Structures are given as structure tokens and as C-alpha cells.
Amino acid sequence: MAAQLIDGQAIANQIQQEIKEQVAARVAAGKTVPGLATVLVGGDPASAMYVSMKQKRCAKVGITSFHVELPADISQEALEKKVADLNADPKVHGILVQLPLPKGLDEERVLQAIDINKDVDGFHPLNIGRLAQKGREPVFLPATPAGCIELLIRSGVKMEGANAVVLGRSNIVGMPVALLLVERNATVTICHSRTKDLPGLIRQADILIAAVGRAEMVKGDWLKEGVVIIDVGTNKIETDDEKGYKWVGDVDFEAASKVAAMITPVPGGVGPMTIAMLLQNTLKAAALADG
Ligand code: GUN
């Protein structure tokens, strides 16, 4: 049986509509317009594109975005000073420093400089630390991991007691999504480049989160019948057609569709959800600032 498609674009549109209504309601009530500052350091084209997409989406829901572009050779002190200025700006409720930072800059120190109540990316060490501890609440959840969980929730997938396999252990996706699954009482296995018998472990998954960044690495015969697949991978591969390329996930979509119960497409799965969750965090940050 063909897998049911988890339409991330449709779910993200629905969330964005909800956010748009909530922003309009708070503005109508005389409260501040939520504001997101995006900080882009250096000229990496992919990072510039991601930031531009985030700004466009802000505009669509009525969130003001403030863009800060800084040169790749900026000093650590000057970058932290910029973050401090944004911390102090009452129009800015959320601060997003696009990662990765150019070489020579200390990412952890920059993330630590962000006011925890404005950390809409959820990457502040305190937010991540709280995520890793029972009974502690992060102020914000990282957007992509939160988007994966939201897709599972809105698709009616039961996480409690499920065998969840996370492929990849990055700070941005793999590790935090594993923590979120544990919080929801899944039994979680984190796989990575040194994992022995990867196919064997993945075959045990009721839920697979693939976030390793390797095109179509997970094959159809690595999957259990009825698995639910959230594919975070966005890999560009060459094609013979006029366009010359296409985007694929970390999972062989065609083969997986024949075995899985549900699967996210690439593009149109997790990608749109990342921005939707960022907007949701920015709205929450504005509400926190209301006092
Ligand atoms: N780089 C890749 N993903 C992200 C993200 O979600 N936030 C930031 N700030 N940088 C990223």
C-alpha cells in the first residue's frame, strides 16, 4: 500500500494562518507588533537564502523583521555587541543568528549572548540544557525539531512507547529532536556515522527521523512495514533534465513510499515547518515581553 503523504506545506500554511490571526488580534488589542531580528554574518548564499525566506514569511503573518548583515571578518566582540544591542531593543522580540558562522567566530559564545527570552531559535545553551533535563522547561524549542514533532502530532502519530530512530546527531536537528521524542515517551535510538548495522537498527523503527544530510541514503529494504518517516534531509542532486538538479531527502522516497505508513516529501515536508515554528516562537516572545 502506498504511504500517506505528510503534507508539511499544508500544515505549515495552517499554522501560519493561526499565527497571522493571533498577531492581528494582539495588535488590535493595542499590543506591540512582534519583531524578529535576523543576523547574517558573511555572504554564504544558502544562509542568505534561508534568512530571506524567513523575512518574507514574517511579512506574510504581520511580524516585523529587522535584518542585520555583518561582514565575515567581524570580530567576536563586535558581533556580541550587536547581539547586546538587539537584546536591549524593545521592538525586537526574537533574535536569530543564522548558522553556521564564518570560521574564527565562537558560535557558543554568540548564542550565549542572546537574551534567553529572545532566543527564538532555541539554541541558547540554557534552553538546550533545559530540554535535556526532566521537569525543566525551555523557553523556546528549536524550530526544525519542534516542526518534526508537530508534523507527528498533527498526523495523529502516537509517540508514547514507539521505537523512534533518529539518524544524525547535529546540535540543530538530531540531538534536540531525540530529546523531544524522549520527552514524549518514545524509546529513542540515535544513529550516526559510527553506528554498527545501521539497516538493522532502522528496521526496528516505528518512527524514523532522518537528519543526516546524505542523499537517499536510507533504502527501502532498511524499513519496517508501517514505519512513519520524517525526512529532514534537503540534498541537491544532479539530473539529466533541463533544470539539471533536484532536491531529495535522506531517504529513498520512492522505495520508502511502498513500505511506510506515512512519509514527508522533500521538498514540502519539514522545510516549511521550520519557518512556521520560528514564527510561532517569535509570537510567543512578543507575548513574554508583554509581561
Ligand atoms: N542553520 C540551519 N538551520 C538553522 C536554524 O534553524 N536556525 C539558524 N539560526 N541557523 C540555521
Residues of the chain with CATH 3.40.50.10860: 30-132
247 CA → ligand 1 middle, Å? 19
Give the pLDDT mean for 187-196: 97
Q: 143-270 — its CATH code?
A: 3.40.50.720
User: What are the Cα distances from residue 16, in Å, to 57, 62, 87, 259?
Assistant: 9, 10, 25, 31
Kindly report the average pLDDT of the chain as a whole number: 97
Quote the pLDDT of residue 291. 82
Residue nearest to atom 9 of ligand 1 (CA): 98
Beta strands in the chain (DSSP E): 4-5, 35-41, 64-70, 94-97, 163-167, 187-191, 207-210, 228-231, 235-238, 245-248, 262-263
pTM: 0.95
What are the counts of helices (DSSP H) followed by strands (DSSP E) for the chain?
Answer: 10, 11
Check pocket membership of 98 for ligand 1, CB cut-off 6 A.
yes
121: annotated active-site residue? yes
Check pocket membership of 53 for ligand 1, CB cut-off 6 A.
no
Residues of the chain with CATH 3.40.50.720: 143-270
Decide if pLDDT at 1 tops 80.
no
Reply yes or no on domain 30-132 having CATH 3.40.50.300. no
Per residue in 132-190, pLDDT (tens digit) is: 999 999 999 999 999 999 999 999 999 999 999 999 999 999 999 999 999 999 999 99
Say how many C-beta atoms besides its own lie within 10 A of residue 111's C-beta. Answer: 23
**Torsions phi, psi for 216 (to 5 deg):** 50, 40
97 CA → ligand 1 middle, Å? 8
Per residue in 216-236, pLDDT (tens digit) is: 999 999 999 999 999 999 999
Residue 124: band (very low, low, confident or very high) from pLDDT cuts 50, 70, 90 = very high
Distance CA 277, CA 286 (A): 14
